[in-house]
């Protein structure tokens, strides 16, 4: 490369950096002041760095075949920041691409175009009251939910993390809890500041004041004494999975509703957001967010069933080990799970395949399932071996799932990758419930095998948070709307 070409390359990079740096304050202000979350072709920009913004723009070429430059999306974002917007999720990349490259928008000014595309959220008053949230249990999912709730802090935030409830209370416990929130071996350091108020048993994080309550059962807690009213309690312990057990939370003063972060038993509705969230009714007081695997596979299975029909199939999950297993060989009530999680692949059972029918009844009795626990700390893989109702091929099924990930009501649940080099650690922190690995897809007539990655911790926690929002009556539209 000659000197002139090198200078042009550097100049291009500096231009992108400068536009990304100009975008950062607008992205922050849109969320903090208007509760508008910006993404670029599905990549969330909440808390993004300049490099995150540049990389997100590069993915547009992979999705559309045409480059979207930051200087093309910048004026769209600048105009967005001026409009009187109600809370929403807005894909800046899709708006900018359509404005610059789709014929139906040629000749329009930016403001005219945006007012047409965003008409549903213009000049709309947001009078919804803030919702108190309590995390009962502070393990892997509890701490990730805390991160997700805290990162949304701002004057327009409608979900307020008010307390966590844990067992213990011994000397040094509060500092240990704060430290586990501050540092995570899988998900990295907390993005912000955390301090401990030992006098009042509280954690302060990015402006959030989080009361730490010590209790051995829900019956021991009176939330009202902490100013917490009509709270949604998210039970992360898994200790109670039926109405009788979870109903104990409803007996505590200050509690309105309960959400379980595990499969519910009996008549409890198991919600997979994106699939059956319409089953959530205002009068529901106890709900389940199902399991991480059920959340990963059900959206993909629903999409495939509606397009091709599924006559039957088998789901095999290759699942990272969990705290339920032993670090070294020791007693465990379940078969094989007593063997060292760090040293062995462990064949076990999963109820995820049968649980799909609780969220999507059309597949009841059509799927079997099993699981292999493997020595990785996070990110799992579901292998869907399906007998379809019609024949297809790899290109068609991949193109269909790519479009589902970008332009459907499942765009927040299903992600898609065409990388030939992707491995499990690359998916740590994925906010989608699942990521379709298109390069691994196998199709032979009416037989299809799909490989679906999922961050069984963070991706699942994002799904849980979506259910919490719905339970709170917070329904934020995703724009531009799916047509």
292 is catalytic: yes
Q: Is 41 left (phi over 0), alpha (psi -120 to 50) or beta?
A: left
Task: Kindly write down the DSSP assignment for every residue of 125-169, as one continuous string.
Answer: ---PPPEEEEEE--SHHHHHHHHHHHTT-STT--EEEEEEEES--
Asked if domains 131-261 and 292-460 share a fold, the reply is no
Q: Rounded to whole angstroms, how far apart are CA atoms 300 and 313?
A: 13
Query: Which tokens in the block code for residue 360?
Result: 């999507």
Per-domain residue ranges of the chain: 1-118, 131-261, 292-460
Q: Rounded to whole angstroms, how far apart are CA atoms 123 and 102?
A: 27
Strand-pairing partners, residue 160, are 132
HSE (CB half, 13 Å, CA atoms) of 472? 27
The answer to whether 378 touches 423, Cβ cutoff 8 Å, is: no
Structure confidence by residue, pLDDT tens digits, 441-457: 999 999 999 999 999 99
User: Rounded to whole angstroms, what are the CA distances from 291 to 27, 68, 263, 266, 272?
Assistant: 32, 37, 6, 15, 9
The answer to whether 451 touches 443, Cβ cutoff 8 Å, is: no
> In this predicted structure, what is the pLDDT of residue 346?
96
Structure-token match 């249990």, residue found = 137
Q: What CATH homologous superfamily does 131-261 map to?
A: NAD(P)-binding Rossmann-like Domain (3.40.50.720)
Q: Give the global pTM.
A: 0.95
Strand-pairing partners, residue 88, are 36
Torsion angle of alpha carbons 255, 257, 262, 266, nearest 10°?
A: 120
Of the residues 146, 292, 301, 384, which is catalytic? 292
Q: What CATH homologous superfamily does 292-460 map to?
A: Dihydrodipicolinate Reductase; domain 2 (3.30.360.10)
> In this predicted structure, what is the pLDDT of residue 1?
66
> In this predicted structure, what is the pLDDT of residue 64?
87
Q: Rounded to whole angstroms, how far apart are CA atoms 326 and 266?
A: 29
| Residues lower than pLDDT 70 in the chain | 1
| Residues 191, 195, 201, 206, CA torsion sign | negative
């Amino acid at each position: 490369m000659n000197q002139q070409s090198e200078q042009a390359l550097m100049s291009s990079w500096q231009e992108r950096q400068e536009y990304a740096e100009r975008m950062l304050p607008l992205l922050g202000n849109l969320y903090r002041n208007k509760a508008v979350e910006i993404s670029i072709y599905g990549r969330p920009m909440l808390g993004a760095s300049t490099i995150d913004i540049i990389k997100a723009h590069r993915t547009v070429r992979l999705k559309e075949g045409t480059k979207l430059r930051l200087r093309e999306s910048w004026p769209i974002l600048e105009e967005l920041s001026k409009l009187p917007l109600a809370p929403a999720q807005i894909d800046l990349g899709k708006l900018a691409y359509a404005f610059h490259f789709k014929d139906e928008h040629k000749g329009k000014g930016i403001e005219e175009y945006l007012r047409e595309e965003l008409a549903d959220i213009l000049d709309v008053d947001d009078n919804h009251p803030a919702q108190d949230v309590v995390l009962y249990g502070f393990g892997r999912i509890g701490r990730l939910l805390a991160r997700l709730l805290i990162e949304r802090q701002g004057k327009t935030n409608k979900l307020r993390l008010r307390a966590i409830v844990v067992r213990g209370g011994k000397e040094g416990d509060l500092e240990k809890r704060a430290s586990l929130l501050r540092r995570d071996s899988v998900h990295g350091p907390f993005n912000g500041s955390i301090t401990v108020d030992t006098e009042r048993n509280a954690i302060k994080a990015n402006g959030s004041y989080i009361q730490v309550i010590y209790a051995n059962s829900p019956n021991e807690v009176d939330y009202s004494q902490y100013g917490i009213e009509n709270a949604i309690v998210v039970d992360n312990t898994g200790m109670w999975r039926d109405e009788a057990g979870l109903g104990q939370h409803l007996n505590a003063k200050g509690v309105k509703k309960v959400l379980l972060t595990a499969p519910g038993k009996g008549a409890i509705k198991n919600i997979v957001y994106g699939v059956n969230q319409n089953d959530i009714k205002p009068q529901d007081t106890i709900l389940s967010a199902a399991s991480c695997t059920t959340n990963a596979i059900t959206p993909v299975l629903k999409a495939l069933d509606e397009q091709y029909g599924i006559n039957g199939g088998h789901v095999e999950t290759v699942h990272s080990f969990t705290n339920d297993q032993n670090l070294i060989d020791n007693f465990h009530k379940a078969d094989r799970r007593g063997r060292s999680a760090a040293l062995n692949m462990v064949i076990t059972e999963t109820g995820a395949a049968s649980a799909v029918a609780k969220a999507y009844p059309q597949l009841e009795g059509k799927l079997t399932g099993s699981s292999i626990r493997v020595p990785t700390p996070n990110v799992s893989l579901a292998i869907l071996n399906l007998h379809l109702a019609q024949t297809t091929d790899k290109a068609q099924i991949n193109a269909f799932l790519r479009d589902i990930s970008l332009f459907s009501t499942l765009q927040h649940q299903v992600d898609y990758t065409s990388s030939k080099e992707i491995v499990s650690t690359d998916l740590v922190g994925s906010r989608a419930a699942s990521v379709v690995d298109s390069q691994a897809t196998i199709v032979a007539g009416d037989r299809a095998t799909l490989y679906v990655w999922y961050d069984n911790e963070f991706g699942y926690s994002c799904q849980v948070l979506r259910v919490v929002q719905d339970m709170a009556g917070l329904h934020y539209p995703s724009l531009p709307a799916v047509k």
